[in-house]
Structure 1
Amino acid sequence: MSEKQTLRGMATINYWAGDMEAAVSWYSEVLGISPYFKRTGPTGELAYAEFRVGDYQHELGLINRRYAPSQAMPGPGGAIMYWHVDHVEATLKKLLGMGAKEYEPITPRGEGFVTASVTDPFGNVLGIMYNRHYLEMVEWLKRGNEITND
């Protein structure tokens, strides 16, 4: 019997926002969808909103900054999670037009791989990437193949 890998896939990525209503509006426009789930805090303020995103319906959560861990630092952090997009340049242009600030310019990373990232209006880093392996995996799974960790 084989063991499964420890990290089996992205489950949820969370972004912090001081103005939850503005963040929900901004991400709804970026994604072209509304959150499917919202939760209020003890005083009735919006505490959390969650979107299902992309081919695998990954979760993108927005959390009211007042619930951030005590050690969380304000501003962009050291990790960037990249979302696959079909057109990095067009997506970057859209994000910048919506008030995001360039964090990392368009950067070729090798044949079939291009990245860029922005800081959203709420201080979170949003990475975008054209990733040929992502597209290959989507097609492979569409053909009925299963992922095994053997």
Structure 2
Amino acid sequence: MTTTGLQTIIYPVKDADRAKALFSALLEVEPFVDEPYYVGFRAAGQDVGLNPNGHAQGLTGPVPYWHVSDIRARLAALVEAGAEVLQDVHDVGNGRLIASVKDPDGNLVGILQDPS
């Protein structure tokens, strides 16, 4: 199991258009994905996502996503270490898998596995 780093952060947003304008101004780029369910930016080697459904999914703030090589094994290890699953492993498109947990202090932690 390899963690390749923290490369993605996703923000739950209530107004995707306002958030898109704000992050376009901040990052000085336009989104590379602009769908009703997700808006994605890529800047300086970092992916920044906006999730209009995030609050309904229980997300209370930004979620950093650690890129891993075996998401199911890493999720099991996090649960064994005391994390609570917020979102089980699921495909968000093109074989990209994500999951998120809450640590014992209430911090949100995401894990992401790209297709091989």
TM-score normalised per structure 2: 0.48
Structure with greater contact order relative to length (CA < 8 Å, sep ≥ 6): 2
TM-score normalised per structure 1: 0.38
Which has the larger Rg?
1
Q: Which structure: greater helix fraction? A: 1
